[in-house]
Structure 1
Amino acid sequence: MSTVLEALRMVAAPDVVLAILLSSIYGLVVGCLPGLSATMATALLVPVTFYLSPIAAIATIISASAMAIFSGDIPGTLLRIPGTPASAAYTDEAYAMTRKGRPELALGICLWFSAIGGIAGTISLVAMAPLLAEIAFSFSTYEYFWLGIMGLMCATLVARSSPVKAIASMLLGLLISCVGMENPGGVPRFTFGLTDLLGGIEAVPALVGAFAVSEVMRALLQPEPPKLAHRRFGSILAGQIALTKQYWKQMTRGNVIGIIIGVLPGAGADMAAWVSYAMAKKFSKEPQKFGTGHPEGLVEAGASNNASLASGWVPSLLFGIPGDTITAIAIGVLYMKGLNPGPTLFTERASSMYALYIIFLIANIIMIPLGIMMIRGTSHVMRAPRAAIMPVVLVCAAVGSFATGNNLSAVLIVAAFGIIGYVLEANGYPVAGMVLGIVMGSMVEQSFVTSLIKSDGSILPFFDRPVSAILAAMTFAALLWPVAIWLWGRPKAAKRAQPA
């Protein structure tokens, strides 16, 4: 009890309270800007942490990242331009709800269930850290390969177009992820002699171009905006309790998926959002409504991405292994402030750990009032003419992409993917599938090649390890299930077609 009281005293310090408030506002603003991801929001705070106390420094990282993950949903909902990669999984769903005149409902779902997911992830961090870490350490490159393949299958599950076009779009994304020399062989691929392509094509510029710039191009050809409600937003949280009761299974499943995926090093909120949205559609009683402004997928994916954010700290705190890019930055700050990750951190610095838990809870609780204020502020976007909005979007896309690596080539990549995204959408190929291939491609390839090197070219370890065998069975079952349904339905369809 004394440890908890000491942790409360540490969090109540004026500098910590101020750090939580200011970094929360900062995270909301940065996450809302296309191209400036939650990772970048966190990275830009590192120089500031030099001058803060250890608890205040960690508080800035936690608060800014949690807010940025949610805030990325705002431009995705209002403009179909995801602010962060985690928002891309359900951007079309949220934007469809906006086109139906219910933007406040979509944003309310994203806000409410993001906060619930963050709290659930924090509880998992407190209660199940050793168990979750053990799960994470049971995963090797063999398991990560199957996990990546299952993630890529989400492209077909979340697509509204034909599965063939969804797979083609995903394969294009995989091809793009091959660019550069950051591959197991260290050999330049598809660089065409351009040094700017040696580092590969980053996911953020590709995502910004495919969604933001292509949306600007569509606006040029369709100058008349849809008749969205040029009115003030209603209550942001109206109906959220009813949705919580209606979709509690989806919310719980999203929390569990987010917690498990967050623990796995290198996975993070992006994969959690994709997998959860795909699972929601797979097990829904109304899958035909997905992509038309149906809240079910938003509930599950929104709960999942913020749950993964908190659980991603488990391997970071216990073993110093980053769960994602945000916790990789956080580990550096922990070492810098003398809070060296490891099991002893939970015994020798227990009060600091409880302070971290409390900060997570506070950040997700204050996300609701601050998120409402942010949504109210950005609601003016709905009333502004598109001729004024789109140039600002282009500027934000260019500046945000340039800031990812201080490289002008990123701006050119944004422009190129704007054209690619526009052409894909115009021909019915889902852009989300391509983005998923870019995000997941490197992980799948690295895991596959590394596994083959370890097994001396044998594929048996992909199937004879218990966890790997289960994931492989799940993957093949998901692949063959639609075929089985089709074959099962053919005789019945033929029988119905016969004349009486």
Structure 2
Amino acid sequence: MEALLEGFRLVMATDVLIAIFASAIYGLVVGSLPGLSATMATALLVPVTFWLSPIAAIATIITASAMAIFSGDIPGALLRIPGTPASAAYTDEAYALTRKGQAELALGAGLWFSAIGGIVGTISLMLLAPALAEIALSFSTYEYFWLALLGLMCATLVARSSPIKAIASMLLGLLIACIGMENPAGTPRFTFGIPDLLGGIEPIPALVGVFAVSEVMRAMAEAEPPKLPRRKFGSILANQWALTKKYQWPMWRGNFVGIIIGVLPGAGADMAAWVSYAMSKKFSKEPEKFGTGHPEGLVEAGSSNNASLASGWVPSLLFGIPGDTITAIAIGVLYMKGLNPGPTLFTERASSMYALYIIFIMANIIMIPLGILMIRAASTVLRAPRSAVMPVILLLCAVGAFATGNNLFAVLLVALFGVLGFVMEKNGYPVAALVLGIVMGSMLEQSFVTSLIKSDGDVLPFFERPVSSFLAALTFSALLWPLFAWAWMRLSRRRASA
């Protein structure tokens, strides 16, 4: 009890409260700008933490990352341009709601269920940290291979086009992920003698290009660009309690999936959002409505990504193993401030841990009022002429791409991926599957090659371990599901005609 009271005292310090409020505004703004991800928002804060107290420094990381993950939904819903990779999974769904005149419903769902997911994830961090860390430590490269492959198979489940086109887009993404020399052999591949390609293709330029630049190109190509609703938003949270009651099982399922995926090193909010959206469509009673502006997928995926953000701190705090790129940055800040991760952190510095929990809960609570203000400020985009908005978006894309690598080559990559995304969507190939292949490609290859080295080329260990065999069964089910569905429909038609 004394440690809890001391934690409250640490958080209520003036410098910590100022740090929470300032980083919340900062995270909301950066996350809503296309190309500037939550990871980048966190990384840019590291120099600032040099001058802050330990609790204030960690508060800036926690608050900014939580706000940025949510605010990535804003440009996705208004302009079909995800602000962060985590919001890419359900951008089309949110944008479809906006086109139907229900932008406040889409943005309100993102805000409300992100806050709930963050609080549930924090509770899991408080209560289940040791058990969840044990689960994460039991995973080897065999399990990570199947997890990455399962994430890729989600591309076939979330695609509105044919599964064949979705798999083709995913394979193209995997091919792009092979570029560079960051592979197990350390050999340059597909670089064509270009030094800038030695480091590979970063996901951010690809994401900005296929979603943002291609959207600008579509607006230029259309004789009459689609008009967004020109009206002020109503109440942002008006229908959220009704959605909570109607989709409570998808919400809790999204929270659970987000917690489990978040605790696995390297997975993070991006994979949690993709997997949860795919599961929502898979188990929905109305799967045909997905992609047309159906809020069920937003509820589950929105709950999942912020839940994974909090649970990603479990292995980071207990063992110094980063759950995602954000916690990898946070670990460096923890060491810098003398809060060395490890089991002793929970005993010797218990008050600091309680302070961290309180900051997580505060960040997700203040997300609601600040998020509403941010949404209303962003709603001016709806009333701006399309011809005025698109050049600004293009400029932000170029700035965001330049910031990722601090060179002009990233800007060129954004333009190339914009053309690629425009051509793919024109022919019915889902660009989301392409991005997923780029993001997951390196994890898939590293896990596969490392596993084969460990087993001396034997593939049996991929199926012998209990968790590995379970993930393998799920992966093959996802892969073969379209075939089973097609065979079942054909058999049903034969019976009906007989």
Q: What TM-score results when the alignment is normalised by the length of structure 1?
A: 0.99
Match of 1:229 in 2: 229
Equivalences for residues 122-141 of structure 1 within 5 A: 122-141=122-141
Distance in 2 (CA, whole Å) between partners of 1:355 and 1:496 is 64
Equivalences for residues 385-464 of structure 1 within 5 A: 385-464=385-464
1:432-490 C-alpha deviation (Å, 9 max, x unpaired): 01001001111111100000001110001100011101111122223233323332332
1:496 is the counterpart of 2:466: no
1:374 is the counterpart of 2:338: no
Spell out structure 1 runs of 4+ moving beyond 6 A. none
Distance in 1 (CA, whole Å) between partners of 2:282 and 2:231 is 36
Any idea what SS the aligned residue of 1:241 has? helix
Match of 2:187 in 1: 187
Distance in 2 (CA, whole Å) between partners of 1:185 and 1:204 is 25
Q: Which amino acid is 2:357 matched to?
A: Y
1:74-100 C-alpha deviation (Å, 9 max, x unpaired): 000000000000010000000000000
Equivalences for residues 54-453 of structure 1 within 5 A: 54-222=54-222, 224-453=224-453
Q: Which amino acid is 1:215 matched to?
A: E
User: Could you tell which deviates more after superposition, 465-474 or 299-308?
Assistant: 465-474
Distance in 1 (CA, whole Å) between partners of 2:481 and 2:276 is 19
Alpha-carbon offset, residue 44 of structure 1: 0.2
Structure-2 change in CA distance of 1:66 and 1:223 (3 Å): farther
Alpha-carbon RMSD across the aligned residues, in angstroms, is 0.9
Contact 2:58 2:333 in 1 (8 A): yes
Distance in 2 (CA, whole Å) between partners of 1:486 and 1:206 is 33
Contact 2:35 2:84 in 1 (8 A): yes
Contact 2:157 2:478 in 1 (8 A): no
Aligned residues: 498
Distance in 2 (CA, whole Å) between partners of 1:405 and 1:3 is 43
Runs of at least 5 residues in structure 1 that lack an aligned partner in the other structure:
none
1:4 is the counterpart of 2:12: no
Distance in 2 (CA, whole Å) between partners of 1:136 and 1:415 is 39
User: Could you tell which deviates more after superposition, 201-210 or 226-235?
Assistant: 226-235
Alpha-carbon offset, residue 222 of structure 1: 1.8
Distance in 2 (CA, whole Å) between partners of 1:178 and 1:304 is 29
Match of 2:40 in 1: 40
Any idea what SS the aligned residue of 1:429 has? coil
Runs of at least 5 residues in structure 2 that lack an aligned partner in the other structure:
none
Q: Which amino acid is 1:105 matched to?
A: L
Any idea what SS the aligned residue of 2:24 has? helix
Distance in 1 (CA, whole Å) between partners of 2:223 and 2:272 is 36
Any idea what SS the aligned residue of 1:44 has? helix
1:274-333 C-alpha deviation (Å, 9 max, x unpaired): 000000001111111000000000000000000000000000000001000000000000
1:417-442 C-alpha deviation (Å, 9 max, x unpaired): 00000000000000101001001111
Any idea what SS the aligned residue of 1:128 has? helix
Distance in 1 (CA, whole Å) between partners of 2:477 and 2:235 is 43
Alpha-carbon offset, residue 223 of structure 1: 5.1
Alpha-carbon offset, residue 407 of structure 1: 1.4
1:16-58 C-alpha deviation (Å, 9 max, x unpaired): 0000000000000000001100000000000000000000000
1:393-428 C-alpha deviation (Å, 9 max, x unpaired): 011000011001201110000000000000000000
Q: Which amino acid is 1:431 matched to?
A: V
Distance in 1 (CA, whole Å) between partners of 2:221 and 2:444 is 38
